[in-house]
Amino acid sequence: MDAAEKYKLWDLEAAEEEANPKRTRLRICSLGLALIGFIFITVSIFREETLTFLKSQSSHGQLTKTGQVKVSFENVRNGTFAPVMKALQWINAPGSISDDKGLFLTNSDDGYEVRSVFDKDFSRTLWKGKSFVYKNANYSVDSLVASPNLEKLLIRTKTVSNWRHSSFGSYFVYSNSTGFQCIGDNLSLAEWSPNSLDIAYVHDNDLYLYSSEESKTVDRITQDGSSQVFNGKPDWVYEEEVMETDRTLWWSPKGDYLAFYKINETQVGEFVIPYYVQEPEDVYSKLKSIKYPKSGTPNPAATVVLYDLKKGKASQVELAASPDLLIETKWVGDRMLLVKSTDRSSDVLTVHLVDAEAKESKVVRKESSNGGWWEITHNTLHVPQDKSKGRASDGYLDVLPVNGFNHLVYFASADDAEPVILTRGAWEIEDGPFSFDQETNNVYFIAAKKASTQRHLYSVSLQNPEKIVDITDTSTSAVYSATFSSGGRFVLISYKGPDVPFQKIVDLKSDEQDVEKEGNIVGKTLYYLTKNEELRRNLASFAIPSKRVQELTLDDGVIANSFEILPNDFDPQKRDHYPVFFYAYGGPNSQQVLETFSVGFLEVVASQLNALVVVVDGRGTGFKGKEFRSLVRDQLGDYEARDQISAAALYASKPFVDADKISLFGWSYGGYLTLKTLERDAGAHFKYGVAVAPVTDWRFYDSVYTERYMHTPQQNIQGYVNSSVHNVTAIAQAKRFLLMHGTGDDNVHFQNSLKVLDMLDLNGIENYDVHVFPDSDHSIRYHNANTIVWDKILNWTKKAYLC
């Protein structure tokens, strides 16, 4: 499940968003939200009431009392409210630790160029244009990665997407001296060695070594790659739930060794997905089979393999404790490899240290989750040995729970069992990013220290633990993200709200400081990357619905983060007037209530439907500590539904709310939570519901995600029964509900919705609507589906509120 993606509610084209950190996002939800259906009570009633409603929506109906224009789908979809946010591709160039020039790669229509944030006159063109000719054939440049010494380029072309993160393509090496070298076609991936000479690549699930110096493949590292054995790249579940990327290979710091996973999914069950509208001339469906481990069924078997380049030999690493899941691998020295693993239910974390030269491993620590679970993270950061700086050994930074809250810790030696605690308190560090400055021993990190709905940039020194320095201005509410140059001197600070976003480059080691503070209170601003002044001007013409972040006190004394968006010209003196549109995601460790800037789908709902919009992060969600989130363990859908119902009751009691027009919408885990809430509520508060691509039975979802929160069905039979969507007669007590799903969903299989439809048929229930999107995956995009799904959510809800 994708917790975020990743997805942004306000971004109808769905993009990954830091508002849902990777570790918090339920991989079930892909990029985006969506819905399905059509509400029908009687055609004549709907027609008459819809016509009445539409008549009121004259040109004057799109203006507020102040004469400003209401937010609509049209101006959201054309990008009127989309801030410009740029990514800076920092380059880890030789010598950057001691002499950090802040080198980065720019990509424009003219090609690719290395520039410096410190020296504006520095420029080095790596590539001109967007295409090239090789053997009289034209190729477009899909991606380009420079070698670490910036002398050669690795170019991918003819890219074909596979799953969420993976693709296939043709790869070329280019340099001014040798011209083009073709590595091969239909490769899964290719990656430079730190030595700038070698390239590891995967073809047909086998791993190869290519020498750019010799212009040829010099070794076939593995021989057993097949449709069921993966070398150096993940299978479906490792890509989706564990690695969150397309590769499982890691070069050692000097390029002497290559570590990779061998994943064998022979024992994993297959799930077949039919595709119906791929080719107009085809009269038969196409079938795609995926090895997909469902809850309680065999997982793929993953092992660590080390390839010694000098010896030209690959050897499997025998880990001291046989793991069920390999969740993170990181070099913490020239020959030392750190490997994290868990049991299949993520109850116990085991950390192994592998000596690549001796081919030996040992367990350096083993930790229980103590009633919670271990999230899969990728934030371990190597801290190199430097005795002159007080670092006697190679160590690493990590995030671990401290008194029930996730905090930054430092293992001074890679084989230490106990860390130095760098931060502590009733707040949590985010999943990253952090940067380590090897010259100053400062660690930079993003945390929800001021408030769980905010993110600020801080630093702490290895020599002075728990003395935290604010880098961004914590006197005002804000959400920031940051990326750092390779030496840690320069930082791209991205302000994401609640006001109009901006981005700036800051020199953290400047002798000067900013006179006027905006964003950062440490360092000197070199320049702004984006200011979004045009967006600010555009906003003046529109009536942006007011948004307020708040805390709600729910039943059982639960204090939950929430925000509400008020419709234009809101009048609290009206009685029984305003509908309430709840949006929910609610997956374990996720977060939707974040003080970011957004004008999108929820604002469209508030403006066009004259409705209050409410989002509540109930129990189970992240950044409020272990006790708040781990309560849902082994019983998904229970406490989450209770909190949505409690919030609905609270709003129903407000005099200006029409208690007969309260609806709930969710996608992926949110779709599941919508159905579970309707089931528990039985029409008492939520009168309408819209569920898109929902899980309906956790036995149907993948083992890696599900068992982290539910254990296996064999261990928790009653929990799986209770957590499934099973009481459809209770759901039917709502006035009407809508169900939508893509038939090509490889993540949350269409099987989930079909199971519920079958139960509805068996129970003679008819007060629902369905829309199926042929061949669309979890993001529902195929053949214009993404436009349709959002239109249906809005229009279906509009008709529901007219009843």
Is 745 a residue of the active site?
yes
Is 668 a residue of the active site?
yes
Coil vs helix vs strand at 431: strand
Least Cα distance to 482 among 531, 433, 431 occurs for: 433
Beta strands 103-108 and 249-251: pairing type? unpaired
Is 352 a residue of the active site?
no
Least Cα distance to 438 among 101, 95, 99, 97 occurs for: 97
b/e string for 568-594 if b means 16 or more Cβ within 10 A? bebeeeeeebbbbbbbbbbbbbbbbbb
- Could you tell me how far CA 714 lies from the centroid of its own chain? 30
Strands of the 153-161 sheet, one edge to the other: 143-146, 153-161, 167-175, 179-192, 198-203, 206-211, 216-220
Residue type, 31: L
> Is the dihedral angle over the CA atoms 288, 289, 291, 293 positive or is it negative?
positive
Q: Which CB contacts under 8 angstroms, 24+ apart, belong to 178-187?
A: 178/212, 178/215, 180/132, 180/134, 181/212, 181/215, 182/134, 183/210, 183/217, 184/217, 185/158
Asked if 33 contacts 506 with a C-beta cutoff of 8 angstroms, the reply is: no
Residue type, 522: V
| Catalytic site residue from 30, 590, 668, 703 | 668
DSSP codes of every residue in 233-294: S--HHIIIIIISSS--EEE-TTSSEEEEEEEE-TTSPEEEEEE-SS-TT--S-EEEEEE--B
Least Cα distance to 35 among 803, 791, 608 occurs for: 791
Tokens of 672: 């599941």
| Distance, CA of 140 to CA of 161 (rounded, Å) | 16
Torsion of CA 137, 139, 144, 147, to 10 degrees: 0
Backbone angles phi, psi at 248, to 5 degrees: -130, 55
Beta strands 559-565 and 547-553: pairing type? antiparallel
Beta strands 657-667 and 405-411: pairing type? unpaired
| Distance, CA of 409 to CA of 397 (rounded, Å) | 6
Q: What is the CA radius of gyration of the chain?
A: 27
Q: Residue 360, Cβ neighbours under 10 Å: how many?
A: 12
User: Under 8 Å CB-to-CB from 762, ≥6 apart: which residues?
Assistant: none
Residues forming beta bridges with residue 70, ordered by sequence position: 543
| Distance, CA of 736 to CA of 798 (rounded, Å) | 13
| Distance, CA of 552 to CA of 627 (rounded, Å) | 18
DSSP 703: H
| Catalytic site residue from 745, 746, 769, 777 | 745
Return the H-helix or E-strand segment holding 628. helix 626-630
b/e string for 483-521 if b means 16 or more Cβ within 10 A? bbbbbbbbbbbbbbbbebbbbbbbbbebeeebeeeebbe
Residues forming beta bridges with residue 399, ordered by sequence position: 408
| Catalytic site residue from 352, 382, 749, 778 | 778
Q: Hey, which residues are catalytic here? A: 668, 745, 778
